[in-house]
């Protein structure tokens, strides 16, 4: 019983870490060059990656001329730098992941809550109710008028900043419409070529349908599997959340590859496709690049570590009961 209690405490701790991760910057990237002096850009042109968007990472600075505190918009600055070599704006990346992030994190939390539940019946009921709630939430957000209001504040803020809109202008949008409009606007911010843009927007639309359906089917499979093949699917409830840092790195690296290999021909300068730095320091033309985890990734690792200990304790406790 002590092992079971400790396992549950560790799982609850991991859930708290996961909730914190959603609101924390997970990774940061900075560009430095001689024409961006430290007086104006003390940390370079810096951006922060969150689960639901990419945000300005430049600190406030004192402006004696204007007598106000102001922060440079480093997301816009980085987009401006990147477009000279044909790279698309930051908001072009991970449109589905950012839009679905509240539902995905909620699903991970649901899986952990079910893992803690005693008994097959209670696990089945909690998972069924939770999956139905998340599925309804996803479909309402995705397809109903004003559905964007059912996603995160951070996602809406990033979208409004990227498209230069205010809250009243997007409050009637569905999440699906917001994804497509945001993607279309981002792709065309510097390279307005509808012949290239519209097929990509259509592909995103189909991807949103497929991923939403796959997510709902995955929850259904998990429910059936927990009832029919309890041993395997029970451990899957905690293994998937443990692997979250791995999933994040793979997704982050994949989108960096997309950025470096999807260069527009209308760019002012032509360069060969390249792989941007995933972790560490690099060099692109006259820019030095820096890409490192932020404290949100440390919280993610802490969550995985807590869950690993919880799984080991639970496994040992079940073995002792069986013997």
Query: What pLDDT digit, counting tens, does each position of 190-230 carry?
Result: 999 999 999 999 999 999 999 999 999 999 999 999 988 88
Per-residue confidence (pLDDT) for residue 39, from 0 to 100: 79
Residue 260 covered by a domain = yes
How far apart (Å, rounded) are the C-alpha atoms in residues 308 and 138?
A: 29
Per-residue confidence (pLDDT) for residue 279, from 0 to 100: 96
Instruction: Look at residue 290 and tell me whether its pLDDT is greater than 50.
Output: yes
Domain residue limits at 218: 2-311
Instruction: Look at residue 318 and tell me whether its pLDDT is greater than 70.
Output: yes
Residue 318 covered by a domain = no
The predicted model scores a pTM of 0.92
Instruction: Look at residue 262 and tell me whether its pLDDT is greater than 70.
Output: yes
Instruction: Look at residue 70 and tell me whether its pLDDT is greater than 80.
Output: no
Per-residue confidence (pLDDT) for residue 60, from 0 to 100: 64
Identify the three-state secondary structure at position 49.
strand
Burial class (CB in 10 A: 0-12, 13-18, 19+), 92: buried
Residue 320 covered by a domain = no
Crossing angle of the two packed helices 95-116 and 194-228, in degrees rounded to 10 = 10
Residue 317 covered by a domain = no
Residue 182 covered by a domain = yes
Mean pLDDT value across residues 94-117: 96
Residue 161 covered by a domain = yes
Top mean pLDDT of 135-144, 157-166, 259-268, 272-281 is at: 135-144
Domain total in the chain: 1
């Amino acid at each position: 019983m002590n092992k079971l209690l400790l396992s549950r405490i560790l799982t609850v701790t991991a859930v708290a870490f996961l909730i914190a991760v959603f609101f924390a910057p997970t990774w940061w990237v900075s560009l430095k060059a001689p024409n961006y002096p430290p007086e104006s850009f003390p940390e370079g042109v810096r951006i922060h990656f969150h689960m639901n968007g990419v945000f300005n990472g430049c600190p406030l600075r004192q402006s004696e001329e204007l007598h106000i505190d102001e922060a440079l918009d480093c997301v816009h600055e980085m987009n401006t730098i990147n477009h000279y070599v044909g790279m698309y704006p930051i908001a072009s990346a991970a449109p589905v992941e950012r839009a679905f992030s509240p539902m995905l994190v909620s699903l991970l939390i649901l899986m952990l809550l079910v893992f803690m539940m005693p008994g097959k019946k209670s696990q089945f009921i909690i998972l069924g109710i939770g999956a139905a709630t998340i599925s309804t939430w996803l479909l309402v957000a995705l397809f109903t008028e004003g559905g964007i209001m059912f996603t995160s504040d951070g996602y809406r803020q990033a979208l409004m900043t990227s498209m230069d809109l205010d809250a009243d202008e997007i409050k009637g949008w569905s999440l699906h419409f917001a994804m497509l409009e945001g993607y279309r606007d981002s792709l065309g911010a510097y390279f307005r070529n509808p012949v290239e843009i519209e097929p990509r927007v259509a592909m995103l639309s189909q991807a949103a349908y497929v991923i939403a359906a796959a997510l709902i089917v995955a929850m259904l499979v998990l429910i059936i599997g927990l009832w029919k093949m309890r041993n395997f699917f029970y451990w899957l409830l905690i293994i998937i959340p443990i692997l979250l840092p791995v999933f994040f790195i793979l997704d982050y690296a994949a989108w960096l590859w997309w950025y470096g290999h999807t260069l527009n021909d209308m760019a002012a300068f032509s360069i060969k496709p390249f792989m941007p730095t995933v972790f560490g320091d690099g060099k692109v033309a006259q820019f030095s690049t820096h890409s490192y985890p932020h404290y949100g990734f440390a919280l993610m690792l802490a969550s995985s570590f807590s869950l690993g200990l919880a799984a080991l304790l639970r496994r040992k406790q079940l073995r002792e009961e069986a013997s």
